[in-house]
Structure 1
Amino acid sequence: MTEHTLTVAGVAVDTRHWIGGRRVASAETFTDVSPLDGSALGEISRGTATEAVAAVAAAKAAFPGWAATPRAERARILHAVADGVEKRIEDLAIVETHDNAALLRSHRRGVMPRVAHNFRFFADWLLKLDHEDFETRGHTNHVSWDPAGPCVLITPWNAPLMLATWKIAPALAAGNTVILKPAEWTPLTASLLADIAADAGLPAGVLNVVQGYGAEAGNALVSHPDVRRISFTGSVPTAKAIGAASAANLVPTSFELGGKSPLLVFADADLDLAVDLAVEQYDNAGQVCLAATRILVEESIADEFTRRFAEKAAALKQGDPRDEATDLGPNIHPRQLEKIDGFVQRAIAAGARAVVGGTPNTDLGGLYYRPTLLTDVAQDSEVVQEEVFGPVLTLQTFATEREAVALANDTRFGLAATLATGDHERAERVTAQLVAGTVWVNCFFVRDLQAPFGGSRQSGVGREGGTWSFDFYCDLKNTVTAPKGWQDHG
């Protein structure tokens, strides 16, 4: 291991920033700790306003050339980035698992292939991005998507590279340049992506990576006057701070924030399917913004549902995420584990009952929290209203369809909702009333990049995916041309 390189399970990762096509070290560092065992993976360059300003300057300088690059060439380079990702899926999967403790099998089979798909999808969508010309009193209207400029993208730790490229790919496809600020708990795969992008021929300055803390590097980036777009995935308080900083420069923002999504289970549902959907909410140790953490079950089937749920949850294997047989790994950080347990213990003290779990897994130690289901919870209680972001679900009952909808909508969030019912007409009625950016009926986590994605209320601002991404990352222009006034040049 050299001064600026760490090795994770045999994979070398540069610990410096990537700015203007070269590696840049900072005077100070921060320690990247693995949630697998609490070991220090290495010292990472800690960005400040100095690195942030340099990255924005590099992105600004590279913008004219990249914006002028023909669509087909931009798409070709993005496909080359995808090729590079696919060649290094194993490396990326191993590093990500050590950095955020999500399941290695998921990284290998789903997450990292999805990273490559993000680049391919938006490269291909760029080539078919079009709006049919239309006429107004004989004049022709032509709609175009013009690149906006340098974009600051701030991404979370629960699916670091996948969620980063969900933003990077459309921003680059649109002809913008990018400054990525990855979460300080999980910076490593962003560094590997910088290498992959450079090897794929992405010009210097088009993609920049600044590591560090939000209050230092992040704040300097979102308040910079040369930034033209900001996209953030994370917490509501941080989004409010970013919104205040961006407002000074009138920079458009896109926010994908917290969730407290419901799973509504009606008596006419396939009960086995409903239980499977409910237990699936423990995916990634509950660290999924879209998770349906509030289970709402019709009274007549609540006892049977709870019994089957407890049986299925008990069969989940918790352990080392590098083990193929593991279903739940550890949580990300001691601070997160403390937060999760605080929610649970306060709920129990207030009268809730832990039907499943309810404590850290002391058999495993470390950052493992037992998958938990709490019943006897009040609708206005903290554990029902606030995002826990851990393997903690609540169960409430309802008597009528109207009550189910009222309970489902009774939070400040509106990211997603899941519905289990065997009645097609009921599904149509209920989904029409749910406040959510995405609703799944008898399924969960089926995602297509063509679809709009985002949240309602305090779950977010804006929508991304397909053309919606280009609408955000571009300045939409309408050119109106008169039918007369042309000179004849022979």
Structure 2
Amino acid sequence: MTAALESLMLPKAHTFAVAEHGAFIDGAETGVNEHAIDTLDPATGQVITRVADTDATAVDRAVQSAGKAFEGEWGSMLPARREALLHRLADLIEENAAELAQYDALEGGKPLSYVESVDLPLAVEQFRYYAGWPTKIQGATVPVSTPDTHVYTRKVPLGVVAAITPWNFPLCQAAIKLAPALAAGNTVVLKPSELTSLSSLRLAQLAIEAGLPAGTVNVVTGAGAGTGQALVSHPQVAKISFTGSEATGRHLGASAGRSLKHISLELGGKNPHVIFADADIAKAAAYAATTAYFYSGQVCFSGSRLMVERSAVDEVLAAVREHADALVLGHGLDRATTMGPLSSAAHRDKVERYLETVAGTGGTVAFGGNRTGESGYFLEPTAVLNPSDADPVVAEEIFGPVLVIQPFDSAEELVPRANSGKYGLTAGVWTNDVRKAHTVARQLQAGTVWVNTYADYNAAAPFGGFKASGFGKDCGPEGLEKYLETQTVWMSLA
């Protein structure tokens, strides 16, 4: 860690960031094992610290600790007390927001101002929203047609939840999984990405400070093939909650099926973002550019497939390019930065391979596509114009700062093309024709459709995909339900 980087960080955050870290089990952090993983700064390629590659033995201890808390203090805690502790945890996240934001900006390369204005408020919002639920979880009386019988249902927690989060929204995704799981009465073993572990480890410390019993929240750091596999295959894990790639989601789904575990998956998206010629073009193009290049395009709901009515293509492309030219690429902790690096050298290489396919399928790189900077994993904001529907840049999730722009001539042509892909996470529609807006929105196969806006997100509004984008919703009452199951009780009154 360079002196220049140290000068960008709060002293407390710097001390925590450069320290080596083990897993967080039963209320305390363990030591770093011999198979520790280097954590790199994606803006420089330099090593920040090392975190434990948690082995199966330590994963078992984490699950056992969570099981003990579930059977003990947390599982038997009165709802009002559980509610108060979750509110206290939200308070502590808010109080330590400046520190927490620096971890995600450092490890993920995300502009600090974005983390402060988007990720941290969303994390706090998740805990505040779900903190209100423990006293409102209730069953029902069932009017069965059986004489002298009283039947009722109870909503009960599942037990130990394995929560696996991606590297692009470390703290926010941890909150999205932890808040409803805890509100429902479960305990959690959280496995963050090995690329971005710091904010999750600090969150676990704050959970203890808030008063949650030891073992209620555990964190196991490490790679998916070892640590992650040991966690999801553990026989005492009742539920897997995963956000990440489609390939890993398919593997976990098959594993959960064999072991009969509950599972919810929020996977990839190649999201159609539609602009009709009658829309407010300036506003629509600004949203299109912002959502395509936010966090260097490393966002599952990025509007990365921009479908524009043909007569408006030139105007939209010019506006997108103007936005892209104004972006300032730099270190996530530098407040001047408005677009950071990609997460790793390997991921940058993967994005570049997609761009290599464009010329062979009739598309053109309208601008960008080059590496930039003397160090780190930076790639210019890029636009690809008029690729075919079969081009991998259209069909697959690139997860980089690559905006695909395709013209269309009518709504009748648009809808089947927009629905032709395997994903169904989100979509956007821009038009001033109310009838057209409702008609197209209802026809798009996506879990969330935004009309004349894009990327709005709230803890009260369910979010999750169709088709290969996964199943199970985050946020809202549906986000709580997936951490509960129904027990039916029959009582004879005869």
Q: Please, what TM-score do these two structures have when normalized by structure 1?
A: 0.93
Q: CA deviation at 1:30?
A: 1.0
Task: Say if 2:373 is the partner of 1:366.
Answer: no
Other-structure match for 1:440 = 450
Distance 2:195 2:188 in 1: 21
77-86 or 130-139, which deviates more: 130-139
Contact 1:236–1:258 at 8 Å: present in 2 too? Answer: yes
Distance 1:9 1:235 in 2: 31
Task: Say if 2:109 is the partner of 1:101.
Answer: yes
Q: CA deviation at 1:345?
A: 1.9
Question: Residue by residue, what CA displacement relative to the aligned partner does 1:343-391 show, whole Å, maximum 9, x if unpaired?
Answer: 1122234432111212222x45421111111013010111100110000
Other-structure match for 1:317 = 328
Other-structure match for 2:355 = 344
Task: Describe the shift of the 1:443–1:131 C-alpha distance in structure 2 as closer, same or farther (beyond 3 A).
Answer: farther
Task: Describe the shift of the 1:14–1:199 C-alpha distance in structure 2 as closer, same or farther (beyond 3 A).
Answer: farther
Q: CA deviation at 1:81?
A: 1.1
Q: Which amino acid aligns with 2:77?
A: T
1:261 to 262, 267, 271: 271
Distance 2:151 2:354 in 1: 55
Q: CA deviation at 1:96?
A: 1.5
Unmatched 5+ stretches in structure 1: 486-490
Other-structure match for 1:488 = none
8-17 or 409-418, which deviates more: 8-17
Contact 1:125–1:466 at 8 Å: present in 2 too? Answer: no
Q: CA deviation at 1:11?
A: 4.0
Other-structure match for 1:35 = 42
Q: CA deviation at 1:222?
A: 0.7
Contact 1:51–1:217 at 8 Å: present in 2 too? Answer: no
Contact 2:83–2:133 at 8 Å: present in 1 too? Answer: no
Q: CA deviation at 1:464?
A: 2.5
1:64 to 61, 71, 77: 71
Other-structure match for 1:21 = 27
Distance 2:219 2:442 in 1: 41
Q: CA deviation at 1:110?
A: 2.5
Unmatched 5+ stretches in structure 2: 2-10
Task: Say if 2:129 is the partner of 1:121.
Answer: yes
Question: Residue by residue, what CA displacement relative to the aligned partner does 1:241-282 show, whole Å, maximum 9, x if unpaired?
Answer: 212222222001100000000111111111111101111121
Distance 2:366 2:174 in 1: 36
Contact 2:106–2:332 at 8 Å: present in 1 too? Answer: no
Contact 1:14–1:192 at 8 Å: present in 2 too? Answer: no
Distance 1:34 1:479 in 2: 54
SS in 1 for 2:327: coil
Distance 2:49 2:308 in 1: 47
Q: Which amino acid aligns with 2:127?
A: F
Q: CA deviation at 1:136?
A: 4.0
Task: Say if 2:96 is the partner of 1:83.
Answer: no
Question: Residue by residue, what CA displacement relative to the aligned partner does 1:178-237 show, whole Å, maximum 9, x if unpaired?
Answer: 000110111111111111111111111111110111110110111111110000000111
User: Aligned runs of 1:188-207 on 2, under 5 Å?
Assistant: 188-207=198-217
25-34 or 288-297, which deviates more: 25-34
Contact 2:358–2:365 at 8 Å: present in 1 too? Answer: no
Distance 1:395 1:30 in 2: 39
1:227 to 231, 234, 237: 237
Contact 1:100–1:332 at 8 Å: present in 2 too? Answer: yes
SS in 2 for 1:228: strand
106-115 or 247-256, which deviates more: 106-115
**Identity value in percent:** 36
Distance 2:161 2:332 in 1: 34
Other-structure match for 1:279 = 289
Q: CA deviation at 1:170?
A: 0.7
Q: CA RMSD in A?
A: 1.9
Distance 2:480 2:250 in 1: 24
1:469 to 475, 479, 484: 479
Q: Which amino acid aligns with 2:66?
A: A
Q: Which amino acid aligns with 1:337?
A: R
Task: Say if 2:339 is the partner of 1:328.
Answer: yes
Q: CA deviation at 1:27?
A: 3.5
Q: CA deviation at 1:143?
A: 3.7
Q: Which amino acid aligns with 2:393?
A: V
Distance 2:159 2:326 in 1: 50
Task: Describe the shift of the 1:480–1:267 C-alpha distance in structure 2 as closer, same or farther (beyond 3 A).
Answer: farther
**How many residues matched?**
479
Other-structure match for 2:14 = 9
290-299 or 137-146, which deviates more: 137-146
Distance 1:308 1:110 in 2: 24
Q: CA deviation at 1:132?
A: 5.7
Distance 1:351 1:35 in 2: 33
Distance 2:41 2:318 in 1: 36
Q: CA deviation at 1:109?
A: 2.5
Task: Describe the shift of the 1:425–1:140 C-alpha distance in structure 2 as closer, same or farther (beyond 3 A).
Answer: farther
Contact 2:13–2:99 at 8 Å: present in 1 too? Answer: no
Q: Which amino acid aligns with 2:14?
A: A
User: Aligned runs of 1:158-307 on 2, under 5 Å?
Assistant: 158-281=168-291, 282-307=293-318
Q: Which amino acid aligns with 2:322?
A: E
36-45 or 131-140, which deviates more: 131-140
1:44 to 46, 51, 57: 51
Q: CA deviation at 1:329?
A: 0.9
1:430 to 428, 431, 440: 440
214-223 or 140-149, which deviates more: 140-149
SS in 1 for 2:278: coil
Contact 2:88–2:210 at 8 Å: present in 1 too? Answer: yes
Q: CA deviation at 1:313?
A: 2.2
SS in 2 for 1:280: helix
Contact 1:145–1:470 at 8 Å: present in 2 too? Answer: no
Q: CA deviation at 1:320?
A: 2.6
Contact 1:153–1:231 at 8 Å: present in 2 too? Answer: yes
Q: Which amino acid aligns with 1:42?
A: T
Distance 1:144 1:451 in 2: 24
Contact 1:29–1:43 at 8 Å: present in 2 too? Answer: yes
Distance 1:325 1:182 in 2: 28
